[in-house]
Homo-oligomer: A and B are copies of this chain.
Amino acid sequence: MLIKEKVEQAKNLLKEFDIDCWLTFARETQINGDPALAFLVEADLTWHSSFVITKTEAHAVVGEYDRLTVAELGVYNSVTGFVKGFKEPLQKLLKELNPEKIAVNYSVGSEICDGLTYGMFLTLQNVLSEIEFENRLVSAEKIVSALRERKSKTEIESMRDAIRNTEDIFDLVSKYITPGITEKEIASFMKKEVEKRKLDFAWEEKVCPAVFTGPENAGAHYAPTGRAVEKGHILNMDFGVKVNGYCSDMQRTFYILRDGEKVPPAAVQKGFNVIVEAIEKAKQGIKPGEIGESIDKIARTTITSHGYDEYPFGLGHQAGRFSHDGTALLGPAWEKYAKKPFQKLEAGMVFTIEPRLTVPDHGVVSIEEMIIITETGSEWLTNPQKNIILV
């Protein structure tokens, strides 16, 4: 079971980083759910809920009505239920454990480690100050990052399953695309396939898939439009599904042959080849100990050295329970990425690689592959696109 696996992993991470207590503190989790909760409990929680992990133990303090659901997971040494307030049982538990540092889920640089709201931080500080523990709070970024990023066997299996389904659906839609059909119709065909297979969408359904045909299309993150596929268009799609809560995230590039064409025009083929080359070179650079900024630079300079504009985002992100997951990023040293491009790559991380470039008058070439970092380098999780899909 995932939760058992991840709670054990968390205890080991506390040993590795020598932090003696990790506290996840949340309330009404259907409204403001800390993303770390997915590894600690399987249900939404109503009242102020505390999950306390140490190097050797796990404890929970939750509303009485959530007690049984948490206790049945069988991973907590104690599950305390309260009716009127969480303060007393939490203070009692922490006093017994008496940790030097209490790591909580906040981070300036990593949204995935930043589930604690400011109001809950103030609440916690107040509760801890009554037992003179208020100076023990530290950021749990290292713990939460590693817990999310170092994927377990179960997690990888779910992701492989999601990827296989995504590839199947790309295959099916490649036979459906034809001149005259709109971006919306293509998206609708794919959505029906997702529903038929009882999968979840990897991100907001409105833009999953995102479909872009031809020059001057709307650009990334924009919902499919009524724009029709035309001969001579490059068409690209961004699409992913979720299996057991784990995501795929892939892009594929298509070209719609004009009358008399057997192969794409040289400019289109050149753009495609440059993207494939950029992905391949970036992948070769990936191994534990490297940083994402260097990997991004490999792909970025491959593209600019062929005379194209650089892509206006990072080369690749991690994937997991969210399509954008994890802290370390294959990205440039831009303000909005903070320290993410400088975090060391580790075995077990799953990354996308997704450079793009524009071929004037035809459209956008964009491929997104997924890889997993191994002890010595990386392995493809996707079957990488090596040929432009011809329609």
Give A106 to B32 CA distance when docked, in angstroms. Answer: 12
Does more than half of chain A's interface fall in helix, strand or loop, or is it mixed? loop
Copies of this chain, count: 2
Cβ–Cβ contact A84 & B116, under 8 A: no
Cβ–Cβ contact A117 & B114, under 8 A: yes
Cβ–Cβ contact B31 & A324, under 8 A: yes
Tell me the minimal C-beta distance from A214 to chain B in angstroms: 17
Give every chain B residue within 8 A of A113 (Cβ-Cβ): 119
Known: A111-B27, A123-B108. A68 touches B117 (CB 8 A): no
Give the contact stretch, choosing among A9-17, A43-51, A346-354. Answer: A43-51
Give the contact stretch, choosing among A217-225, A229-237, A359-367. Answer: A217-225
Per-residue interface assignment for chain A, residues 113 to 150, with 1 indicating a CB less than 8 Å from any chain B CB and 0 otherwise? 11111111111001000000000000000000000000
Say yes or no for A86: interface residue by CB 8 A criterion: yes
Give A303 to B182 CA distance when docked, in angstroms. Answer: 62
Beta-carbon contacts under 8 Å, A185-217 to B = 203-204, 206-207
Cβ–Cβ contact B222 & A84, under 8 A: no
Cβ–Cβ contact B84 & A107, under 8 A: no
Give every chain B residue within 8 A of A106 (Cβ-Cβ): 117-119, 122
**What are 8 of the A-B contact pairs (CB < 8 Å)?**
A28-B324, A31-B35, A32-B115, A48-B336, A84-B334, A85-B335, A106-B119, A117-B117
Besides A85-B334, A117-B118, 14 other A-B contacts (C-beta < 8 A): A27-B111, A43-B204, A63-B221, A63-B336, A64-B312, A65-B222, A66-B221, A68-B218, A69-B221, A106-B119, A109-B119, A115-B117, A116-B118, A118-B120
Residues of A within 8 A of B (CB): 27-28, 30-32, 35, 42-44, 46-48, 63-66, 68-69, 82-87, 106-123, 126, 203-204, 206-207, 218-223, 312-313, 322-325, 334-336
